[in-house]
Structure 1
């Protein structure tokens, strides 16, 4: 469990922190607000708390809007183009193509985002695969 936020940071949105600094000239304490970016760097937002909170809301909204949803089919096609032909033996290539064909049939109609796939979907896929595989009995 993480430690609780400092008193001056409580009530601030996630990613926004307050740092208190003492001015050298007159000794007054000034608060500066920083927003922590995804890459671990910080963006200074100034001395005004309300302006910093508004800017944080804008940054969070832009980050959420810009986040692109990656579809399973896109990842499968990229794997098929970049990995299978160059890094696999011929028998493995054939089995990978067959497996990708089945995976794309299940997860591609309708297309599903990679982050939305959960363990229950994998279970449904395994049941679907078992049902659609015809075993010959001699």
Structure 2
């Protein structure tokens, strides 16, 4: 999805490729633009490719998962995906060939260490969705790979061993909140705002 700023307003476009390049206007509302982008992509993705790549799964994540998140998280995720594509889509990386060493290499090559941790968290959630959707049965390559050390931040990246230790000792409400955060990929602040009436027709609606 391309973005252009005109008269202090950002407009979004679907890149339809071709020569000359053809673009479909998606409007200036970011959340709506992502939804329209997802609808166009869904119409184009009728068949499953012989090799499942990270980008293929990430694009389904954009279509099916990101529109359910808050507008702020949507923008963060799209920026994070741009970074992930530069490593895992240049050239396109088949899911079956991504190993923990590649996650470590990604973290090491990023100069913005704290942002790399956020990107790793997004990658991990995309991988978990790939398993859920049946694209792979392999373990999440992020498991056991420590995030970058963050200095001078009140917020820290929680490693799997610490997460599991807290989960085992947590009360039922806290476990449920942790499950919601893990399954939805939402920020803690967004999870705490969720209410029963956010569930419509069996689907959690996030605004």
Determine which structure has the larger strand proportion and give its number. 1
TM-score band by shorter chain is 0.3 to 0.5
Query: Highest Rg: 1 or 2?
Result: 1
Q: TM-score with structure 2 length normalisation?
A: 0.30
